[in-house]
Amino acid sequence: MESTEPSKSKKDSQKVRKNRQKARREFLESMSKEEREEFLLKEKTEKLQQTKYEQKLLDNMHTFPKVYFDCSFCDTLVFKELKSLILQINCCIKTMKSCKMTDLSEAEADQEPLVYSINITSYKDNLQETWERCGVSKFIHSKTPEDIESISLTNAIYLSPDATEDLEDFDPLTTNFIIGGIVDRTVSSKLTLNKANSINPDEQLQCRRLPLQKYLDKKSKFVLNINTVYEILLRYCNSRNWEEAILQSVPMRIRG
Ligand SMILES: C[S@@+](CC[C@H](N)C(=O)[O-])C[C@H]1O[C@@H](n2cnc3c(N)ncnc32)[C@H](O)[C@@H]1O
């Protein structure tokens, strides 16, 4: 018979929620009445702005340039790795939703940020099943088991850490990207380079690596998580500054 007791992780998250509520109560109580009213009004306005922004994202999703996550490599992944892949894609969604809030310059802050819509291709049954268990976000623009190879792509660049050429400037309004739906634990070299070459015997689909070596001290190859790659793209297409996009996105532990 199934236990009606809450699981340990449920108990933990209840505890975290209670602690958070307590800290908030104490924080609000430490203010004067006027300060508290001002703080709560500001919080409400920001929430409203965020909700409006998220609705705008959903409404305009079809007009954004696209990032495709090529999940054709996921048939060998175990449950834990599939969850990790989904988690990283959810981090991309979080980045997309907070794009308006990132530290853009004053001039840029007035403009609507440009985002890349998130599209999942070539997924297998095991990814689909895990996804259904975790819940699929409405911010995923499209999801298809069709292979990236059979989707007609105009002006797309396959990103791979093994590419021989750096990605340079590109037109964010017309350039789409393909990122390998691969998590760290399954890293084996050249998966995406080989895939790009196989789709692309006549080299119409470009394969590029991010220009990390130019802006980071280490001269070795950098293999990043997909959410970091997505964040760099988003930052770059809004600032057109590689150095800023890379330094603000790549975690310290990787920069060395
Ligand atoms: C964890 S990496 C997987 C690396 C894997 N060995 C491969 O062959 O692509 C996940 C994906 O992020 C992108 N990526 C990671 N680091 C990158 C870099 N330095 N330059 C370009 N793309 C990168 C690639 O699309 C890659 O497939």
What confidence score (pLDDT) does residue 27 get?
A: 94
192 in ligand 1 pocket by Cβ < 6 Å? yes
Minimal-distance CA residue to ligand 1 atom 17: 161
* Ordered per-residue pLDDT tens for the chain, 256 residues: 445 566 777 788 889 999 999 999 999 999 999 999 999 999 999 899 889 889 988 998 999 999 999 999 988 788 888 999 999 999 999 999 988 744 445 545 556 778 999 999 998 888 988 888 888 899 999 999 999 888 877 889 999 999 999 999 999 999 999 999 998 755 678 999 989 888 866 666 899 999 999 998 777 888 999 999 999 999 999 899 999 999 999 998 887 6
What confidence score (pLDDT) does residue 36 get?
A: 95
Q: What's the Cα-to-Cα distance from 85 to each of 24, 94, 124, 219, 227, rounded to whole Å?
A: 33, 14, 13, 27, 10
- Separation between Cα atoms, residue 76 and residue 82, nearest integer Å: 10
Ligand 1 binding pocket mutation candidate from 229, 249, 250 (most atoms within 8 A of CB): 229
What CATH number does domain 66-101+114-255 carry, 3.40.1280.30, 3.60.20.10, 3.40.630.10, 1.10.3720.10? 3.40.1280.30
C-alpha of residue 229 to centroid of ligand 1, in Å = 8
What confidence score (pLDDT) does residue 1 get?
A: 45
212 in ligand 1 pocket by Cβ < 6 Å? yes
Q: Note the helical H segments in 105-241.
A: 106-110, 125-134, 191-199, 212-215, 226-239
Minimal-distance CA residue to ligand 1 atom 9: 192
